[in-house]
Amino acid sequence: MNEASCFEFLLPASSLDALRVSLSAISGESLQALDEKPQSLSLHVPLDAAVTTYAHEYDEAFPIPGQLRIGPLWASLCSFERVALLRLSASSPAMSILFRDSGAVQQTLKALAQEWSALALFLDSGAAQVQQLWPGDGAVTLPAGQALTPQARAASLLETVTAQAPLRRFELVIPVTEEDRPEDKFSHHVNNARYAVFINRTLQRWYVPMGLRGALPDFSAMMARSEYDFLHEVAVPGEVTCLLQVSRVGRSSLEHRVEMWSTGTSDARLVGRGRLVHVGIDRQTRKSRPWPPEVLALCWPAKAAGSAPPVA
């Protein structure tokens, strides 16, 4: 892949206000007019080999232990009816190399993509092919032989994201704090009840790009079953990654496989797993109903070779 020139976030239009607030907090300046002209911002990222090389080349200071401020980056936003395309562009060849080679930079941008309920995050090579970093990995080839406008590019990426059904698998990184210890503070591991909170928080983030927050006024979903097996404890402070994956589709039910990973150290460890069952319901009658096709299109791959998904 050629040297990367930018990161592109494909976002639901509903997250734009929160996005502007978040970017303003990162940059320390107001970015309310972001969609009118590009603006500069900086990011703090953990140190890795590529980031450290960048720091030495530019003689950067380290105001936050173990992290480096990189930038300036050029931020530009194109917003449309359903989605928006946020572009963070490199300001120098060295920054382009950092975009491509630094895992710390890519992980930082993935975390932001999750925070903003992004549909996808792409590392742009400046050519017809872009590298998809989140929520799945892989190369995406855009229409060739034409200079894509921002709107055409957003439409093409949205079509690709929908076709690949990336939201069948969704993960959220969650910091573990003192609030997650048992109420008596006797133990220094996560209280068992907090794992239900972590799972619910991940579901809430998944609902937004799935269109289950206001986009479907007549449809809702209700939890019908929840199971979770505790495999290992998680120390406080720390970090967990909650992974949801749609595993079965029924007439009105949607089943998720759940995995909880301890990711606060260099070695990730599976600490728990289970399953959830959602039932689609009509908001007015409160009776079960099938999941809308536009929702299923985002979380279950299209039929392959004439085969249908398994029915619960």
Here the tokens at position 79 are: 């917003």
State how far the Cα of 146 lies from the Cα of 37, in Å rounded to an integer: 24
Q: What are phi and psi of 40, to 5 degrees?
A: -95, 150
Q: Whose CA is closest to 291, among 235, 216, 197?
A: 216
State how far the Cα of 34 lies from the Cα of 24, in Å rounded to an integer: 10
Peptide bond into 237 cis (omega under 30): yes
State how far the Cα of 297 lies from the Cα of 306, in Å rounded to an integer: 16
SS3 for 95? helix
Q: Whose CA is closest to 227, among 272, 266, 165?
A: 272
pLDDT tens-place values along the chain, 312 residues long: 345 688 999 887 767 888 888 888 887 777 666 777 788 888 888 888 888 888 776 655 556 778 888 888 888 888 876 678 898 988 888 888 888 889 899 989 988 887 887 878 888 766 667 788 876 677 777 766 556 677 777 877 776 665 555 577 788 888 899 999 998 888 899 999 999 999 998 988 888 777 777 678 889 889 999 999 999 999 999 889 898 988 888 889 999 999 999 987 777 889 999 999 999 999 999 999 998 887 887 787 542 223 344 433
Which residues have C-beta within 8 Å of that of residue 9, sequence separation ≥ 6? 85, 86, 87, 88, 112, 113, 116, 118, 120, 121, 122
Assigned CATH for 168-299: 3.10.129.10
- Provide CATH 3.10.129.10 ranges for the chain: 168-299
Site of tokens 């060295």: 94
**Bridge partners for 76 per DSSP:** 87
**Bridge partners for 243 per DSSP:** 171, 259
Q: Whose CA is closest to 171, among 123, 211, 220, 121?
A: 121
State how far the Cα of 263 lies from the Cα of 134, in Å rounded to an integer: 17
Q: Whose CA is closest to 58, among 88, 93, 23?
A: 93
User: Within 10 Å of residue 280's Cβ, how many Cβ atoms?
Assistant: 23
